[in-house]
Amino acid sequence: MNIQIVEHESAADFLDSSYDWLSQHEILNHGVISLAGVLTPQNPIYYPPFLFIHVTVDGNIAGCCIYAEPDGLVVSQCTPDIAPILFDYLQAKIHIPSRIFGPETPAARLAMLFGELRETRYSIHSTWRIHFLDRPVVDTSPFRGHIQIGKLDDVDLIRKWGKDYDEERPANVNIQQFLLKKLRDNHLYLWIDEEPKSLATISGVNCSGPRISAVYTPPSYRTHGHATALVQELSNLLLASGSAYVTLHTQAGDPVERIYKRLGYDTVGEKVSIIFQDV
């Protein structure tokens, strides 16, 4: 068996060589593809060093990963035996990632190997469910308002909401910077009911189907269905614009999962976020 590690100089080179393989299970590999997409141009949210790697077995790609902080190490769908091969290469390149994100089997195996080497504890911080939609949402209840793409005039509002979101639900990336970048890229949408009441962004636009992400409603506007209406209309807008499907991720057990199921989203997989703590 001939095993090779291929490291790419750029995200664009990585996608050129790996996209066909990743797209065979695009929904499960969505995070790797979309991360490579946002790293193709300069992106201030992420900082080097970056690693773009795929593993071949007898000439065929068998697994991929990207290292880019603050996302950490993002791993594709792959068989369990690929994790040790990736680890042998990665441990010489990086000290320890801030987290490992991907399907549970390869992510947990890599975390165990890093933990043993660096004498570091690791644990599953969160489990994320992948939800999938490939048909328009039927309007199940009346709602007030309309969807609108964010404008640069909204920058002060987005800056404030991003700060509040960051404080309420801290993430691996700076949410305020993330939302402002989405606003500049025309990938941020608002629900307007006399004034903005909720927001959502889209990620993974280099995939056959984008992912709805960072759905947020300020506390004073909650329980009125603004976020539900926004996700419904944004899903329909994306599908009507030619997307083959739409996905979104939720933390396992989040009550919002019931809302997305009612809109027609099916749960099609899970991923885990594993973090490390010094012993």
Q: Does residue 118 carry a pLDDT above 80?
A: no
What value does the mean pLDDT take over residues 130-143?
A: 87
Does residue 220 contact residue 104 with C-beta atoms inside 8 Å?
no
Domain residue extents for the chain: 3-126, 135-244
What average pLDDT score do residues 228-251 get? 97
Superfamily of segment(s) 135-244: Gcn5-related N-acetyltransferase (GNAT) (3.40.630.30)
Of the candidates 230, 220, 232, the residue with the CA atom closest to the CA atom of residue 261: 232
Fold category of 3-126 in CATH: Aminopeptidase (3.40.630)
Task: Give the chain's mean pLDDT.
Answer: 94
In this predicted structure, the answer to whether residue 66 has a pLDDT above a threshold of 80 is: yes
- Residue 275 scores a pLDDT above 50: yes
Question: Is the predicted pLDDT of residue 152 greater than 50, yes or no?
Answer: yes
pTM of the model as a whole: 0.93
Check pLDDT > 90 for residue 140.
Answer: no
